[in-house]
A and B are shown apart, each in its own frame.
Chain A
Amino acid sequence: MQVTSPVRPPLVTGGKNYHDVTNDVCKPVESVPSKSWVVALGIALITLGFGVYCVGRLLWDGIGMWGLNKTIGWAWDITNFVWWVGIGHAGTLISAILLLFRQKWRTSINRAAEAMTIFAVICAAQFPILHMGRPWVGFWPLPLPNTFGSLWVNFNSPLLWDVFAISTYFTVSLVFWYIGLIPDFATVRDRATTKVRKIIYGVLSFGWDGAAKTWSRYEAVSLVLAGVSTPLVLSVHTIVSMDFATSVIPGWHTTIFPPYFVAGAIFSGFAMVLTLMLITRVVFRLEDYITINHIESMNKVIVLTGSIVGIAYLTEFFIAWYSGVEYEGYAFLNRATGEYWWAYWSMMTCNVISPQLFWFRGVRRSIVLTFILSIVVNIGMWFERFVIIVTSLHRDYLPSSWAYFKPTLYDVGVYVFSFGLFFTLFFLFTKYFPVINMAEVKSVLKSSSENNTRTNKH
C-alpha cells in the first residue's frame, strides 16, 4: 500500500471497514425507495412533463415561439447549452485530473460527479438540436456522403468542431463512468436477494469476477482513460468558446476565451457537484464518506477558479480599452452600463465577489453557506453566458437594428425541461446505482481511514 502522510485527516470517518462500505453504499439500492426520494422524483417528473409540453409546442410551431429576433438570434438556448456543458466539466475533471494528481479524496465523489457530467451533457445537447428548428434532420452536421446536397460539412467551422467535441466528450465520459461501475455492479449482484436484481445487475456487471489479472488491466485502462480525458475535458470548453472567439462580433472576438471558459466551466461544475452532493450525503446518510474535508477541498477549487474567472473579466475590460478598438470598447462599456446592466452586475456579484468568501475557513467548512454559495455561483455562471451572448448581439452595427431580448414562456419552458430531465436522471441514478465508488473507497480505506488496521495488525 502507499504511504500517506500521518498529518492528513482521514478520508473516510466513522471507523468503517470494507463490509461497512459495501453495506452503506448498497443500502439505498437494496431498500424500498424512501418517501422523500419518491416525492423528489415526482417533482422532477412533473417538471419534465411541463418541459415536454413546451418542447412539443416549440417543435410543432417552430422556434418563432422563442423571444429571438433578427438581431438577437442566439439567447437562452445557447446560454443554457454553454451553461450545461460547463457544469458537465466537473465530473471528468474530478475523475481524470485528480486521478493523475493522485488526489485520493476524489474517490468518494467521482461516481456522482461523473453521473452529473453525463446528465448535464445530455441536457446541453438538447439546445443546439432544438435550435436547429428541425431536429429530425439533426444528422446533417455529420460528415455524410453528399446525397443531401452537393457539399461536405465545413471542417473550418467551430460549430462543427463542437459536434465532434461534445459527442466525443459524452462517449468517453460515459465509458469512463461505466468502467468504474462494473465492479460495483458485481458487488450488488453478489449481494442480491431477489431474482430480478440478480439478473439486472448480473447483466450490468458484464460477468465481473474481480480476478487480479482483470484488476491489473482495469487499472491500466483507468489510467489511460484519465490521461486522454484530461486534454479532452480542456478541449471541449475551448472549442465551445471558439464558437464565439472565432467570430468577428465585438465582445466575442477575444483570444482570452478558451482558458477563461475552461476555468468558468470547472467553477460552475464544482458548484453543481456541491449542490447535489450536499443533498445526497444527507438523504442517503453518506456523511462518513463525503466529509467536511471533501467539501472544503471542493470549495478551494471554487475559490481558485472563481478568481481566475474574475481576473478574466477584468482583463477583457482592460484589453477592450487598451486595444483602442472602438467597437470593443463600446461593447464592454455597454455590458456594464447599458440596457443589460442588471445581468452584468448579477454576474459580477455572483461570480467574482461571493466566492471570495471561501477564503475564510469557517465559510469553507460551513455546509449551509457552501450550499447557498454553490447555487449563487451557478446563477452567476448562467448570467455570464447570457451577458456574453446577448449583450454582444443586441447592439448591432446599425443603430436601426438595435434590439432587446425578452424571453417567452417557451424560452423558460425549454430551460425547465432541461432541469426536469437532469433531475429525473439524477434521482434514478441515486436510487438504482451505487452512488459512491465502493471499490475505490475500499482501496484508500486502509491507508487513510480512522481505524488504521495496518498499524493494529502488523
Chain B
Amino acid sequence: MATGKNFLVGIFDDEDVLIDSIAKLRNTGIKIFEVYTPFPVHGLDTALGYKPSNLPIAAFLFGLTGTILALTMQIGMLGFDWPMDIGGKPYIPLPSFIPVSFELTILLAALGMVFTFFIISDLKPYKIPYMFDKRSTDDKFVMAIDLDSNKESSEVITKLLQETGAIEINTQKVD
C-alpha cells in the first residue's frame, strides 16, 4: 500500500455510472490509483486500461511441469529403477501412465496458479488491508485517486467526480 500519500476518494453506488466516470476521468488525463468493488464488474479492467492477466500462462507452465514430473517419476521408477515383469507387458506401458500424469498436471496447474495469484496480489492470512471505505465489500464502488501523482488540483477532480455521479467524496491521508 502506498504510504504517506493523500488520496481523493469517490464513492459510487452503481457500476455503470462508475465505468462512465472512469472513462471521463481518464480522458481528462487523471490517473486513477485503484477502484474497489464488491464484485467483479465486467468491463472495469478495460476501462481502467489493465492488461489481461498472465496467470493462464503461469497455469500452463505449472501444468507442463506436472506432466513432465509425473512421467519422469513413473518411467524412472517402473522403467529403470526397478523394472517389473507384469504378465510380459512392457516395462514402460505409457497408456497406464496417462491417469497419474493427467492428475498431476491438473494438480500442479491449479496449485501453482493459485499460489502465484496469492503472491502477486499480496493475499496472505496475516495481512490487514487498508480499506478506503468498508462499504466497498458490501454495496459501494470506491475510486481512489492519488493526489500527489496528478497534476490537477483536488478541487478540479472533486468537481469532475461530482459531475460524473459520485455520491460521496472525501480526502484521506494514508500513513
Contacts and interface: CB of A to CB of B under 8 A. Distances in A.
A206 B114 CA distance: 13
Given A154-B78, A155-B100, A442-B39, 8 more contacts: A146-B82, A151-B84, A172-B111, A190-B136, A203-B126, A216-B53, A217-B121, A221-B117
21 contacts: A1-B16, A1-B42, A18-B38, A146-B82, A151-B82, A152-B81, A155-B77, A156-B89, A158-B99, A164-B103, A176-B110, A209-B36, A210-B137, A213-B121, A214-B121, A219-B40, A220-B53, A220-B56, A225-B113, A439-B38, A443-B42
Given A22-B139, A179-B114, A206-B123, A228 B109 contact: yes
What are the 9 closest A-B residue pairs judged by CB atoms, nearest first?
A: A207-B127, A18-B139, A161-B99, A209-B129, A152-B77, A206-B123, A220-B53, A439-B39, A216-B45
Contacts of B16: 1, 454, 457-458
Contacts of A171: 107, 110-111
A232 B106 contact: yes
Contacts of B127: 206-207
B122 A190 contact: no
B78 A152 contact: yes
Most buried by A among B17, B40, B73, B86: B40
Interface string B101-144: 01110110111011001101111111111110011111100000
Contacts of B52: 216, 220
A453 B104 CA distance: 46
A158 B118 CA distance: 34
Chain A interface main SS type: helix
A156 B86 contact: yes
A228 B103 CA distance: 10
A453 B125 contact: no
Contacts of A221: 55, 113-114, 117
Interface of A: 1-2, 17-19, 22, 143, 146, 150-156, 158, 160-161, 164-165, 168, 171-172, 175-176, 179, 182-183, 186-187, 189-191, 202-204, 206-221, 223-225, 228-229, 231-232, 235, 239, 242, 438-440, 442-443, 446, 453-454, 457-458
A152 B81 CA distance: 9
Contacts of A235: 99, 102-103
A164 B104 contact: yes
Interface in B3-59: 14-17, 34-45, 48, 50, 52-53, 55-56, 59
Interface in B70-103: 73-74, 77-78, 81-82, 84, 86, 89, 93, 96-97, 99-100, 102-103
Contact of A207 (B63, B124, B134): B124
B40 A215 contact: yes
B114 A175 contact: yes
A143 B77 contact: yes
B134 A215 contact: no
Given A171-B111, A191-B138, A212-B44, A206 B125 contact: yes
B59 A224 contact: yes
A272 B110 CA distance: 27
Contacts of A150: 82
Given A143-B77, A155-B100, A215 B37 contact: yes
Nearest to B126: A203
A442 B122 CA distance: 25
Contact of B36 (A202, A207, A211, A223): A211
Contact of B41 (A160, A164, A215): A215
A209 B124 CA distance: 12
A161 B100 contact: yes
Given A215-B44, A439-B40, A443-B40, A224 B125 contact: no
A317 B111 CA distance: 43
Contacts of B35: 211-212
Contacts of A232: 103, 106
Contact of A217 (B39, B117, B129): B117
B55 A443 contact: no
A155 B97 contact: yes
Contacts of B73: 143
Contacts of B48: 212
Nearest to B120: A217
A458 B48 CA distance: 22
A443 B103 contact: no
Contacts of A143: 73, 77
Given A18-B139, A224-B56, A210 B38 contact: yes
Contacts of B130: 209
B137 to A, nearest CB: 4
B138 A187 contact: yes
Nearest to B63: A228
Contact of B139 (A17, A202, A212): A17
Contacts of B114: 175, 179, 221, 225
A187 B138 CA distance: 6
Contacts of A438: 38-39
A30 B36 CA distance: 24
B117 to A, nearest CB: 5
A442 B38 contact: yes
A207 B138 contact: no
Nearest to A242: B99
Nearest to B59: A224
A206 to B, nearest CB: 4
A3 B52 CA distance: 22
Contacts of A203: 125-126
Contacts of A229: 106, 110
